[in-house]
Amino acid sequence: MVAVLLFVGVPLVFHAIGIGCPIRFATGISCPGCGMTRAWINALTLRFDLAMAYHPLFWLVPPLVVLVAMRQRIPRRLFSGLVILSLALIIVVWIARLVVTPDSNMLFSSVECVDVVSIGEPPWLQALRSLFANIG
């Protein structure tokens, strides 16, 4: 019950106070899963070009869910190998998306998808800077 409250409650609180992604809010750098929710929303509305632009590995989620659900029936070595491969793919795509900003140009030049990933000054640092600017 506590896990469900945290899983649902924390994102709702973040949304209510204007924080989309806590990692991006704190660091200014998008996390490896940035765009995954928007990708699935677009995929569920059959806009696969936009889904791929938001996160090119959105399609990996269902196989990973099945993999984790079936982990007792899969040989441990195969399970570990598939998890490591998945994590490696996610990290490679994340690094590529950090290098190419906005990353939609890397995926589809015809898709208009701006600011999927951008590295900038974290919002908390901007707020702190403006606070000190107003004081001094």
pLDDT reported for residue 108 = 43
Question: Would you say residue 78 lies in a domain?
Answer: yes
Q: Which domain holds residue 41?
A: 33-130
Single out the residue of 123, 125, 124, 120 nearest to residue 98, CA to CA: 120
pLDDT reported for residue 116 = 47
Chain centroid to Cα 101, Å, comes to 15
Question: Would you say residue 12 lies in a domain?
Answer: no
- Please give the tally of structural domains in the chain: 1
Question: Would you say residue 85 lies in a domain?
Answer: yes
109: CB partners within 8 A, 6+ apart: none
pLDDT reported for residue 54 = 83
Residue whose structure tokens are 């208009």:
112
Question: What is the reported pTM?
Answer: 0.60
User: What is the mean pLDDT for each group of 10 consecutive residues in the chain (136 residues)?
Assistant: 70 74 76 85 88 87 91 93 94 82 45 46 62 69
Q: How far is CA 101 from CA 21, 65, 96, 106, 119, in A?
A: 18, 30, 9, 9, 8
pLDDT reported for residue 107 = 42
pLDDT reported for residue 90 = 92
* Interhelix angle 61-69/76-99, nearest 10 degrees: 160
